[in-house]
């Protein structure tokens, strides 16, 4: 895709700037701009990040069993 042919509406541009601000904040002080919950493999919560919704943690109910299995394997390797 040629980025010169892309057009962004104002909502998408604002969203992009918010993501950039979160990453800048993380690199400067290790904290995002708002409170993010600590990761827990049993919590099954993920951030919904789209230009049409606020950042919000919400349960993810899709079948992610493959990813869960990979995550479990990595945890067993890291913490024998």
Query: Residue 6 has what pLDDT?
Result: 64
Give me the number of domains the chain comprises: 1
Query: Residue 1 has what pLDDT?
Result: 46
Task: Please indicate, yes or no, if residue 19 is contained in any of the structural domains.
Answer: yes
Query: Residue 65 has what pLDDT?
Result: 75
pLDDT under 70: residue ranges of the chain: 1-6, 33-37, 44-64
Residue span of the structural domain in which 43 resides: 8-78
CA distance 51 to 49: 7
Look up the pTM and report it.
0.41
CA distance 33 to 68: 28
CA dihedral sign of residues 26, 30, 33, 37: positive
Task: Please indicate, yes or no, if residue 51 is contained in any of the structural domains.
Answer: yes
């Amino acid at each position: 895709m040629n980025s010169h042919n892309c057009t962004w509406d104002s909502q998408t541009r604002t969203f992009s700037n918010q993501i950039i601000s979160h990453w800048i904040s993380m690199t400067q002080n290790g904290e995002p701009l708002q409170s993010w919950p600590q990761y827990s493999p049993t919590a099954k919560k993920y951030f919904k990040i789209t230009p049409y919704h606020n950042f919000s943690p919400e349960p993810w109910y899709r079948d992610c069993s493959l990813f869960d299995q990979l995550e479990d394997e990595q945890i067993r390797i890291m913490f024998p």
